[in-house]
Amino acid sequence: MIEKEEESLENSENGKGIEDSPRDRTRLSDICADVKISQIMSKETTVVRDTEPIENIIELMTRTPYHSFPVLNSDDELVGVIDQENILELLFFERSHRTHHTHLMAIKALSEEAATLMVHHPVTISHDASLCEAADLMIKHHINRMCVVDGKKLVGVISKSDLIKKIYELRR
């Protein structure tokens, strides 16, 4: 079955297959270097405030398809990201590794707002960066989604699936 699928890819439209030689990969790198993140990012994104109660964020995660949310302060500046891993660690506090207990106990005792649980220095990318730069960062940091910023302001979000779709488009 796999052989037939590969064969059909080789015999795609106009008799041309999807090439994957070193020369074609270089050409693709050149092309994707010219594609700006601002052209393919999602401009509409669900955000939470740094003062948002954790309980509300958990509820938001249950009714949206997103696994992480940018966190904004009162000046609409990106100050962090909160994701499923943060929430799971808090929910399963007693099962978490002992090295995390002090941090999680402080969160439980002090406050249950997004600011206390979020990742404070998320990996971000400038809106004028290239598709290649975004791919490099996502691969390097093992992340699926990244906040796109203009200075400290959130202007969008880019995901691995956005990059893959655009690269596929460029290869056609």
Of 63, 45, 68, 64, the C-alpha closest to 114 is 68
Of 105, 130, 131, the C-alpha closest to 116 is 105
Q: Is residue 9 pLDDT above 50, yes or no?
A: no
CA 115, chain centre distance (Å):
19
Confidence band, pLDDT 50/70/90 cuts, at residue 28: confident
- Its pTM stands at 0.74
* Predicted local confidence at residue 11, as pLDDT: 38
Q: Is residue 171 pLDDT above 90, yes or no?
A: no
Q: Is residue 57 pLDDT above 80, yes or no?
A: yes
Confidence band, pLDDT 50/70/90 cuts, at residue 14: very low
**CB-based contact 83:65 (threshold 8 Å):** no
pLDDT tens digits, one per residue of 109-150: 445 789 988 999 999 999 999 999 999 999 999 999 999 999
Q: Is residue 55 pLDDT above 90, yes or no?
A: no
* Predicted local confidence at residue 160, as pLDDT: 94
Distance CA 99, CA 82 (A): 20
Give the residue, 157 or 9, on which the prediction is more confident: 157
Domains observed in the chain: 36-171 (3.10.580.10)
